[in-house]
Amino acid sequence: MQRPLDNQHIIEIKPLPSPREVRTKLPITDQAAALVVETRKAIQNILHGHDRERLLVIVGPCSIHDPNAAYEYAAKLKPVADALRDRFLIVMRTYFEKPRTTLGWKGLINDPHLDGTCDIATGMELARTILLTINQSSMPCATELLDPFSPQYVADLISWSVIGARTTESQTHRELASGVSMPVGFKNGTEGSLEVAVNAMTSARAPHHFIGINTEGQISSIRTTGNPDRHIVLRGGGGKTNYTAEHVAKAEAAVASEGIARSIMIDCSHDNSGKDPKRQGLVARDVIKQFREGRQSIIGIMLESNLNPGKQSWKQGVTLAHGVSITDACLGWDETEALLSELADSITAKTA
């Protein structure tokens, strides 16, 4: 008898609903669609220098694991975004997929019940439901593009996206970024390499041809035009920071040939904060100071923030505290609100 050649380590192959089925079940509303179009255009205006007065601020939980906590956070963020809109364009972090260095919870899409059952079909619908609800509340959303098929399910509800440090060097993710309809940031590598992010920007600008899925879920040949709306995200690496004026100037020079007026975003978390959420404020203040002093290449900042500060370990069967991250440690809401107001005031001081 011939020995099986395929699927020797596969337990189950379970078909998922197609993107069209999920989008039909959970259709985007006119209000949400208008918000996405408006926010993408506003980000493009900042990115390409048509709006030089404002900064883009991506702020919110490291990852979403509790829909109710996400809605509560969005409700708190909305009035702050409205009050500071002349200085900041604020977009909420709504991250549903988490890359892991080794093992761990891989995000709400992968394991929505937080019990290891990995009910991806439910996770995809839940992610879309959360995005619909938050956009419907007039709060635009940002996410990390991790799985190359997920955007077909949720990309119409995303105003800004990022390719993470672990995947910036991936050809698959550069090709994906070349075809998505929103602006994309590329993080420098986990060890701090700027070159991989620069190369990713160049690659995503060009047309690509690759294997993907269409809205029916069929394996398809995808051809893209290339994405003109790209920038770098400095997040530190290898235990070192890269947010200072020297690092920003170096990054600015590295992508000068891309022809993007404001091409540098700073992630105030990760190695830039030494993974201490309280240090995010120090990083953000330094970045705002650089912007005030004329470093116009800075497009904005990223902050990890939740309803309550810190993080908690998820264990099956253990009740989780409300509004506390189960991935990276975050700032609490009160500290976040105060920091955003302080940063906005310091920008105003530039022309006072």
What tens digit of pLDDT does each residue of 265-284 get?
999 999 999 999 999 999 99
pLDDT at 64: 97
When pLDDT is cut at 50, 70 and 90, the band that residue 100 belongs to is low
Residues 6+ apart with CB under 8 A from 338: none
Asked if pLDDT for residue 352 goes beyond 60, the answer is no
Asked if pLDDT for residue 9 goes beyond 90, the answer is no
Asked if pLDDT for residue 248 goes beyond 90, the answer is yes
Which region holds residue 259: left if phi is over 0, alpha if psi is between -120 and 50, else beta?
left
pLDDT at 351: 45
CA distances from 185 to 23, 137, 265 (A): 26, 25, 8
> By percentage, how much of the chain surpasses pLDDT 90?
88
Asked if pLDDT for residue 102 goes beyond 90, the answer is no
Average pLDDT over residues 282-288: 98
Average pLDDT over residues 22-47: 98
Asked if pLDDT for residue 147 goes beyond 70, the answer is yes
Asked if pLDDT for residue 236 goes beyond 80, the answer is yes
Alpha carbon distance 220, 17 (integer Å)? 16
pLDDT at 307: 98
- CATH level 3 topology of 19-348: TIM Barrel (3.20.20)
pLDDT at 122: 96
Element counts in the chain: helices (H) and strands (E): 10, 10
Alpha carbon distance 66, 43 (integer Å)? 28
Asked if pLDDT for residue 240 goes beyond 80, the answer is yes
When pLDDT is cut at 50, 70 and 90, the band that residue 350 belongs to is very low
> By percentage, how much of the chain surpasses pLDDT 70?
97
At CB < 8 A and 24+ separation, what contacts does 10-15 make? 14/121
